[in-house]
Chains A and B, each alone.
Chain A
Amino acid sequence: EADIYQTPRYLVIGTGKKITLECSQTMGHDKMYWYQQDPGMELHLIHYSYGVNSTEKGDLSSESTVSRIRTEHFPLTLESARPSHTSQYLCASSELAGGPAGPADTQYFGPGTRLTVL
């Protein structure tokens, strides 16, 4: 079972607030990802990291920012939340090499943070 955690699970916040969504994994994975997913819709990659001090933007343009100061931690920050940011945010991690559970780049997901901006 994947050990990847996200907090908070649910967040309702007013417009203009700064928020940070936390993601931590205890598997020692080098790669970490943030996805945005609206209900019933597909996953959109918004950020990814291949290791400490490495971050890149994904396919979907996002006003959020990320940091990777420690291997296990990949927080996402919104400086000024807006209603258009309302969505589910999923964090995932993967390892460079494959293992018994799956080949290289098998991604393991956290439970997600459901964000509502009023």
Chain B
Amino acid sequence: QKEVEQDPGPLSVPEGAIVSLNCTYSNSAFQYFMWYRQYSRKGPELLMYTYSSGNKEDGRFTAQVDKSSKYISLFIRDSQPSDSATYLCAMSRGTGRRALTFGSGTRLQVQP
């Protein structure tokens, strides 16, 4: 069983929809939770990160962490065609070797 599970999608939504992307994990040692966005044929870029449980908002994006359920989410409001990409969650223990673990990514398509 993988440490981090993520639905691969694809997830197709109309422009303007609210999108919810999720990951579950099994390792309670994870302290930092990140979301990367990867456009086709490009490298992933860091979108947001949060520490421990709680919410963090950045423009149309909100990251949410529920450590008790080992569940993290990324919400995208007013989704745009330019949001079409693969979204990868990543988790870090904050210390030690090879501390970062990636999910497999969810492909999102926002239809105009």
Contact = CB atoms under 8 A, between A and B. Distances in A.
B51 interface: yes
B43 A104 contact: no
B104 interface: yes
B22 to A, nearest CB: 16
Interface stretch (B12-20, B60-68, B76-84, B94-102): B94-102
Contacts of A111: 42-43
A103 interface: yes
A21 to B, nearest CB: 13
Interface residues of A, number: 25
A82 B5 CA distance: 31
Interface string A94-109: 1000000111111111
A103 B92 contact: yes
A94 B43 CA distance: 14
B34 A102 contact: yes
A102 B49 contact: yes
A94 B100 contact: yes
Residue of A45, A94, A103, A111 contacting most chain B CB atoms (<10 Å): A103
Contact of B49 (A2, A48, A103, A110): A103
B85 interface: no
Given A43-B88, A103-B32, A106-B46, A48 B94 contact: no
B100 A105 contact: yes
7 contacts: A42-B103, A92-B43, A103-B49, A104-B32, A105-B32, A107-B100, A112-B41
Interface of A: 2, 40-43, 45, 48, 50, 88, 90, 92, 94, 101-112, 114
Interface of B: 31-32, 34, 36, 41-46, 49, 51, 86, 88, 90, 92, 94-95, 97-100, 102-105, 107
Given A102-B46, A106-B100, 5 more contacts: A45-B98, A103-B51, A105-B32, A111-B43, A114-B41
